[in-house]
Amino acid sequence: MFDANDKNKAMLSFDEMDEIQRPAPENVGFDAVLDSAISRRDFFKGSALLFGSGLFVKSSLAKAASLQESNGLNLFSFKDVVANSNDDITLPDGFKWKPMVSWGDPLWSKGQSFDSSDLVTEQSQNLAFGDNNDGMKHFSVQGRELLAINNEYVNFASFFSHRQSKAPESRGDVLKTQQAVGVSIVEVSAGSQGWQVVKDSPYNRRITAQTPMKITGPAKGHSLMKTQQDPDGIQSFGTWANCGSGKTPWGTYLTCEENFNGYYASTDPDITISDELKRYGLAHQGYGYDWHTVDKRFDLAQNPNEPNRSGYVVEIDPANPQTMPKKRTALGRFKHENAEMVIADNGQVVVYLGDDERGEYLYRYVSNNKYRANATSEQIDDLMENGTLYVAKFHDDGSGEWLALTSETTGMNHAEICIHTRQAASKVHATTMDRPEWVAANPNKAEVFCALTNNKNRGLKTNAGGDKQPVGGPNPRENNRYGQVLRWIPSQDNHAADTFNWNLFVLAGNPVVHPKGLLSGSQNVSSHNMFNSPDGVHFDSQGKLWIQTDGKTSNEGDFAGMGNNQMLLANPQSGEIKRFMVGPKECEVTGFSYSEDKKTIFVSIQHPGEKGGSNFPYGKLARSTVIAIWHKEGHQIA
Ligand code: FEO
Ligand code: CA
Ligand code: CA
Ligand code: CA
């Protein structure tokens, strides 16, 4: 179990733990990279590759009215919220919020009410909402409203607040963490108390680290997928590290396994970790969950293939709670952020996928066959199992291409490409990215956005596979501390086309601390709306782009004036960005969905007080919470 020396480890981010546990890659020659960055700076600042540069004039911001709501509320007319470090939700005048569901709230009446002095047991956690709510999607089923919500991991500061070590200290503690992760599916409704979970709904469901899953697609049955427990490589147990999400036109939920590696560890300190596993951050020590002490699946010394069975997109049918989730290996294995699905004009299913790690890649999946409304479940399986993965390559002139990952281009077979996807992408020399987070496709036109959150290794180190991270293209700053939002437009407005054009929708920065140069950000960043580390990007039904952040909240130095993590609203046409919400202390703002009538938006407030500094939302122990936000006049806002 965690010992006292590990206490501080519980306060580290997954990235920081990965860096500690994996030897730092080679320095790639900082001086040379810096020279090239400096020479690029002037080029980039005046370039059309930066949205708004030159072409962008502030007066055009007033023309945001093209996105005006049909009921007369122009959501861009609200007064920007001022950045702050309050332990609260701050919204523009006229908007209200309430906590809807928090970690530990029972989803069935036989569950016990959350008690912050007693916390939950393994059994009560299994009947309750999981921790660290993240990505989510809304589903309408038989006139009822469901939310499928990821529970990414557990926030040790709150989850183990009753333990001196602030970490698991018993077998029961470890098993409880396995019940607190995965996915919660809840029915919600708006009654006299506002939006709340419908307890005992037949649709309520918990999917945890122990729920049986079908392995589907090219990797199914491959020797790398076979374990002691599953010698055929066809069924795994559980999903965890579920970060972003997606929704299919056939009404299913896509949940994406991100930092899956940290749940594995080795009881034998001397085993050799293969290069294949090292690329994914597997190490002798995990993140401190100690799952390997209660379940040999997580012991690398006994089950070296088990990690090959996580790091996928998992498809879940919220309308049919008895169905088994399906791991969709055709969509590749990496630290998946989200899965943004669109149907190309010709009917092919296209899924955009980011790998959130410094210097990893941006991907696209294209099905072989075409989607038709009322497709049978066999046809759906075919669309999700038979297709091609591509990885993005960006050129400095603003063009780009999707490089197919095939036997011919990688020398790997299809199953190997789907299991060792990072290695396949390295072989075709794709563009190493500044941590691709959520991808969002504009519902009104063929254009796609991806948050590149930050990358302190840009220009300084290789990725774990030894691929260089040169400064340039969509990753224009060395030691990128602020992040940027990338946009690409598929050729001929066709998501299935293999080429595109790109620009940067916003380069985050701090124009007060850094009045000049790329650190000041693009022209649509000002002292009024500055932020760092964009993460969630989501379109609503009106085509407004919501940007959420997961960044530094010190509010000092490079980050002075930015306050807590926040949610901003952007007009993709004009480039205008306004701060709509500020979250409580030490939280990340993530996950976005909205009610059927589009009058309420649902947002995840994840790990408030992750370092112990918050009492959100009830003035007691800080708890991850999904909040509902609405306008007091009942306007449509999404
Ligand atoms: Fe769980 Fe990349 O965020
Ligand atoms: Ca994220
Ligand atoms: Ca993030
Ligand atoms: Ca997170």
Q: Which ligand is nearest to the CA of 354?
A: 1
Ligand 1 centroid vs 364 CA: distance in angstroms?
Answer: 18
Domain ranges of the chain: 4-73+96-631
Kindly identify the ligand whose nearest atom is closest to the C-alpha of 259.
1
Q: Give φ, ψ of 438 to 5 degrees.
A: -65, 145
Copy the structure tokens of residue 148: 């499928």
Q: How far is the CA of 194 from the centre of ligand 3 (A)?
A: 30
Question: Does 5 have pLDDT greater than 70?
Answer: no
Residue 346 CA, ligand 2 centroid: distance in Å: 31
Strands in 405-515 per DSSP E? 436-441, 448-452, 484-490, 499-507
Q: Is the pLDDT of residue 542 over 70?
A: yes
pTM score, two decimals? 0.94
254 alpha-carbon distance from chain centroid: 12
User: Cβ(360) to ligand 1 under 6 A?
Assistant: no
* Sequence-ordered alpha helix ranges (H) in 324-428: 377-385, 407-410, 414-419, 421-427
Closest C-alpha to ligand 1, atom 1 = 243
| Torsional class of 244: left (φ above 0), alpha (ψ -120 to 50), beta (otherwise) | beta
pLDDT in tens, 546-590: 999 999 999 999 999 999 999 999 999 999 999 999 999 999 999
Other C-beta atoms lying within 10 Å of the C-beta of residue 322: 6
Least confidently predicted of 55-64, 224-233, 262-271: 55-64
Ligand 1 pocket member 187 (CB < 6 A): no
Residue 393 has pLDDT above 80, yes or no: yes
What is the model's pLDDT at position 14? 82
Q: Quick one: pLDDT at residue 15? A: 77
Q: Which tens digits make up the pLDDT trace of 106-117?
A: 999 999 999 877
Q: What confidence score (pLDDT) does residue 123 get?
A: 84
For the cut 50, the answer to whether the pLDDT of residue 491 exceeds it is: yes
31: confidence class by pLDDT, cuts 50, 70, 90? very low
Is domain 4-73+96-631 given the CATH code 3.40.50.10310 in the classification? Answer: no
pLDDT tens digits, 33-89 = 333 443 444 445 556 677 655 333 333 333 333 444 444 456 778 999 999 999 999
Find out whether the beta carbon of 356 lies less than 6 Å from any atom of ligand 1.
yes
- Whole-number Å distance between alpha carbons of 188 and 595: 9
pLDDT in tens, 433-476: 999 999 999 999 999 999 999 999 999 999 999 999 999 999 99
The average confidence (pLDDT) of the chain is 92
With a 6 Å cutoff on the Cβ, whether 434 touches ligand 1 is no
The DSSP call for residue 325 is: P
Sequence-separated (6 or more) residues with CB below 8 Å from residue 182: 130, 150, 151, 206, 207, 208, 209, 211, 238, 239, 240, 242
pLDDT at 362 over 80: yes
Q: Ligand 2 centroid vs 479 CA: distance in angstroms?
A: 19
pLDDT score, position 3: 45
CA of 437 to the centre of ligand 3 (A): 7
Between CA 615 and CA 607 the distance in angstroms is 11
**Res. 281: pLDDT tops 70:** yes
- CB of 243 within 6 A of ligand 1: the answer is yes
Residues 6+ apart with CB under 8 A from 476: 37, 40, 44, 484, 504, 507, 518
